Amino acid sequence: DFEKALEEVKPAFGAATDSLKSYCMHGIVNCGETFDHLQQTLRTLVNQVQVSEKTPLLTCLLEGPSGSGKSALAASVALESDFPFIKVISSENMVGFSEQAKSSQITKVFEDAYRSPLSVIILDDIERLLEYVSIGPRFSNIVLQTLLVLVKKMPKDGKKLLVIGTTSQGDVLESMGLSEVFNVSLHVPALRVEEIVRVVRSLEVFGLRDIPEAVEALTSTASKLVPIKKLLLWIELAKQGLAEDQKIPIPRWKQVLSDLS
């Protein structure tokens, strides 16, 4: 049974790395201090799990608005940890599963982790795993109870585990008592004006002089706070039909913002 278990663990590992990379599809752009500090804190946790005997389990929740970069952040830290067992639990791989099947799948990943000396599990988009919808509200209590127990359950026999969860419904998880079972809770914000400037500058998509007007156009159409994922998408749409190294003209940028945002 142990040999079979090992077999099951190995191939999962390779696939996980691929899938982790796809979470950072647009790379990790330098967004400034806030993001650096978040990354640093996560690295501290990785380290702590690895070295301390008295903390066989550490759990951290990344919470912030939709598209703020939570999944990419979790994935990038997990990738650089080089732990022998890394796995993402995502609803994308469980479409159409029954609540019970989701619960079993999640449990199976944790049990695999308990057999590896050093593991990272990413619980991505926890509100989706919970099948949460605010009308009602409705959600899978079976999956919720599974998470409430597993996020607190210590690995035995010196095995070690880091759990990173992501959610854009921090207050909902709070009211379910799920935030509370995580050791640490970190807020991943959308970009503020200074950070937007920094990002568009490093991407070199606007003429240098156009940047203030481009950012002004953006924050006045949408809102003061812009998630990095949306910013990158709008830039992509605005670049349609332009040559590789051509800058985005301001009128075109405004057109895209008014039509598509």
Point out which residues bind its own copies (CB under 8 A).
22, 25-26, 41, 44, 47-48, 51-52, 54-55, 66, 91-92, 95-96, 100, 103-104, 107, 128, 131, 133-135, 137-139, 141-142, 144-146, 148-150, 152-154, 156, 175-177, 180, 183-184, 233, 236-237, 239-241, 259-261
Q: Please choose, from the candidates 235, 230, 225, the residue with its C-alpha nearest in 3D space to the C-alpha of residue 34.
A: 225
Q: State the binding partner of 134 from ligand ATP, Mg ion, its own copies, none, CB within 5 to 8 A by kind.
A: its own copies
Residue closer to its own copies, measured from CB, 4 or 54: 54
For the CB of residue 75, give the shortest distance to ligand ATP in the complex, in Å: 7
Residue closer to ligand ATP, measured from CB, 64 or 106: 64
| CA 115-120-126 angle, 5° bins | 115
Residue closer to Mg ion, measured from CB, 71 or 103: 71
Q: State the binding partner of 69 from ligand ATP, Mg ion, its own copies, none, CB within 5 to 8 A by kind.
A: ligand ATP
| CA 227-24-57 angle, 5° bins | 95
Residue with tokens 């390779």: 14
Residue from 123, 129, 151, 228 touching ligand ATP (CB under 6 A): that is 228
How many residues interact with ligand ATP (rule CB under 6 A)?
22
Q: Which amino acid is at 65?
A: P
Q: Is 81 in the site for ligand ATP (CB under 6 A)?
A: no
Contact residues: ligand ATP, CB under 6 A: 24-29, 31, 35, 66-73, 125, 166, 168, 228-229, 232
